[in-house]
Amino acid sequence: MVITPETSPKELRKLLRSRRRSLTNLQQQIAAENLCKQLIKSPLFKKSKHIGLYLANDGEIDPHLLLKVAKKYKKHIYLPVLRQWPKYAMVFQRIKPSTRWTFNQYKIKQPVYDKTKLSHPLKLDLILMPLVGFDKEGGRIGMGGGFYDRYFSYLNRMNSWRKPYLLGLAHECQKLEKLHLNSWDIKAMAVVTDKQWYFH
């Protein structure tokens, strides 16, 4: 299927998801290594102590190689946690070797909710956000739950938003020409793929 300006958001999401899912294990592995190499040497990653990550799902580019590096440099890693209620809220919870695990309603592995391990959004330095699609200006399509949009909507209203830095991660094959954005869409500040960085 060809993408045109008339392609509906629903179609676009479906197409891009199937594109990333059709990558082979070897392609995924190489992409993960290339992504990790670029991130590790970036000043952004180096200076960030509190980092929000995700566990790759549905063909997403996999940032798990960063975990080892993070441990070495004593960085704190947080993962998104969804709950039954409030239904659309996402929180970031610190993971440790003692973390207990469960699955969210979309069957994505996540830590068992523990409010003592939650991070306030402003405490995080860097959030690595999984993308379904993106353009060079930071426009992005996510999984459609609006979880990241909601999480950042209040940061967006603050005029002194310096952190967390919102970095989108994607496969190069998820890049699109120009995305139509909705009023609630929160842009990525930059995007990094298996091939290169996109700053805007």
- Contact mark string toward ligand FFO, 145..174, x via CB under 6 A: x-xx--------------------------
In the complex, minimum distance from the CB of residue 10 to ligand ATP, in angstroms, rounded to a whole number? 9
Q: Contacts with ligand ATP in 128-187 (CB under 6 A)?
A: 141-150, 153, 182, 184-185
Beta-bridge partners for 52? 78, 127
Q: Is the Cβ–Cβ distance between 81 and 101 less than 8 Å?
A: no
Of 144, 143, 156, nearest to 186 by C-alpha is: 156
Q: CA-CA-CA-CA torsion for 36, 81, 198, 144, nearest 10 degrees?
A: 130
Report what 166 binds from ligand FFO, ligand ATP, none; CB cut-off 5-8 Å by kind. none
CB closer to ligand ATP out of 99 and 146: 146
Q: Which is nearer to ligand ATP, 160 or 183 (CB)?
A: 183
Sequence-distant (6+) residues with CB within 8 A of 17 are 58, 59, 132
Q: Is 157 annotated as a binding residue?
A: no
Q: How far is the CB of 186 from ligand ATP (least distance, A)?
A: 7
Residue 146 in marked binding region: yes
Count of residues in contact with ligand ATP, rule CB under 6 A: 14
HEC assignment per residue over 113-152: CCHHHECCHHHCCEEEEECCEECCCCCEECCCCCHHHHHH
The angle, 0 to 180 degrees and rounded to 10, between the axes of the packed helices 25-40 and 65-72 is: 30
Interaction of residue 130 with ligand FFO, rule CB under 6 A: yes
Binding site listing: 55, 60, 140-148
Q: Which residues contact ligand ATP by CB under 6 A? A: 141-150, 153, 182, 184-185
Binding site listing for ATP: 140-148
